[in-house]
Amino acid sequence: MAARSGSVGGMLYSLIIFVFLFVICLVLTILFYSRANEQSQLAAEANEAVKAMRSPVEADSDSYKALLNSARQNDRSLFGQMTVQQSQVHRLITGVGEDTVGQVKEKLAGIGVKGGQSTVVGAITDTRATAAAAEEARAKAEAASKATADELAQVKLRYDSLIAAHKTELDNRQGQIDQFQARLNDYEQSSDAERQQVVDQLTQTRQKSVADLQVKETEIRNLNATIAQKDVRLRELVAALRELMPESPDPTLEPDGKIIGVTTEGRTVYIDLGSQDNVILGMNFEVFDAATGPQLEEVRPGEIATRQKRGKATAEVIRIDENTATCRVIRQERGQRLSAGDVVSNLAYDKKRVYKFFIYGDFDLDFDEQTDPGDFDLIVSMVRQWGGKVYEGDEMPLDTDFLVLGREPELPAAGGDTFDPQVLGDIERKRAAWEKYQRIGAQASELSVPVLNQNRFMTLMGYFRR
């Protein structure tokens, strides 16, 4: 029994131990499987992390292997090695390894690297190209600046030369100005005395002129009285002479010839004067009716110059025969007809005698209010061309047949208080010309010499401008 009890006890004890060990094994198994599951999960997560960091293809690449070897050599993890290299790259670019990619981009943008550029190297390449272009432009600008500087230097040299020449000229001018100023100062110091001397001389001259003028006026009054006495005596002698001599016909009313034929159209006439009567080509004749002949106009006493009316036509000699001449009609009054028997007359022409003319004054044949010495010469040539004689000189001879007077000179006003010798001389010359004009006209009137003004002379000569 005891042995059986011991055996049963041993078995029970073994059984308890077995159960205890079984429980322990069971617990350990459960713990092992729990840990195995955790490790499998961690391994799976690690595989996922590895896959996120690199793909299977990337794992076989040389760059990945080089990165992995570098991490093992430096006793770093792959991520740690990548972080270190990134920091080195950032420090190389910006100088700060802790900068993020965004900060690196901002700093690159701050120095002009645009965000659209793909790589920093590309940006640097573009920047270097831009810098090279800028350097080339700078070199060109520097060359242009140097050329401009050279030109400026040349201009400055010319400028300095001009300034020097101008300064020399200014110095010369200033010297002249100083000389003029000195002369002016000398003149101003002496001008008062000289002006007073001139005033005194002018005053003395004026007083002397006034005294001389009074003497001349007295002489003129005496001469006028003598002339008046002589005029009275001359009129008496002329009247006595007229009583003793038969009255001569007025030469301005005597016809020179007559018309002996007229063409059908009336534009050509034939006169009874020819080469033996001293008729010349171009001579003009006034044509008058045969019944009336040259007629007189109503005039004021003494104005013989305007006594004859103008003819009804004017004829110009265009052909000369021995006893006749052919004339063309160059003027004809409206409604007047020319016929045989009409008489012709030219003031300067006479087939039996030579008329003597005295021509005096200034003439204006253009009627432009401007006298012309050539007009005087034209009148003289007309008289001489058509048989008249012209007396030359400033005094009218007593045997003058006609006096031709030009425009009456203007009587100048008194000189007032002026002492200018030139002005006073001009006034005196104009006054003398006016007085002589009046004297010659009065002399012709006293001698009963016909006085012809410019218009009347040209009319009686048959002259007109075509």
- How does the average pLDDT of the chain come out, rounded? 78
Q: Are 286 and 311 in contact (CB under 8 A)?
A: yes
Confidence of residue 268 (pLDDT cuts 50, 70, 90): very high
pLDDT above 90 (res 450)? no
Question: Within 10 A of 407 (CB to CB), how many other CB atoms are there?
Answer: 14
Instruction: Report the amino acid identity of residue 308.
Output: Q
Q: Are 260 and 272 in contact (CB under 8 A)?
A: yes
Task: Give me the pLDDT at residue 326, please.
Answer: 95
Q: What is the DSSP string of 39-69?
A: HHHHHHHHHHHHHHH--HHHHTSHHHHHHHH
Return the SS3 of 260: strand
Q: How far apart are the first and last CA of the chain?
A: 201
Q: Report domain extents, the chain.
A: 48-111, 255-346, 354-461
At a CB cut-off of 8 Å and minimum separation 6, what does 418 contact?
Answer: 424
CATH class of 354-461: alpha beta
Question: H/E element holding 15?
Answer: helix 2-53
Return the higher-pLDDT residue of 450 and 342: 342
pLDDT above 60 (res 103)? yes
Q: Compute the chain's Rg from CA coordinates.
A: 71
Query: Tell me: the pLDDT tens digits for 281-318?
Result: 888 899 999 888 877 666 565 444 445 678 899 999 99
Fold of the domain spanning 255-346 = Thrombin, subunit H (2.40.10)
Query: Tell me: the pLDDT tens digits for 379-408?
Result: 888 888 777 889 887 888 888 888 898 888
Query: Tell me: the pLDDT tens digits for 1-54?
Result: 555 566 777 778 788 888 888 888 888 888 888 777 777 787 777 667 666 666
Reported pTM = 0.38
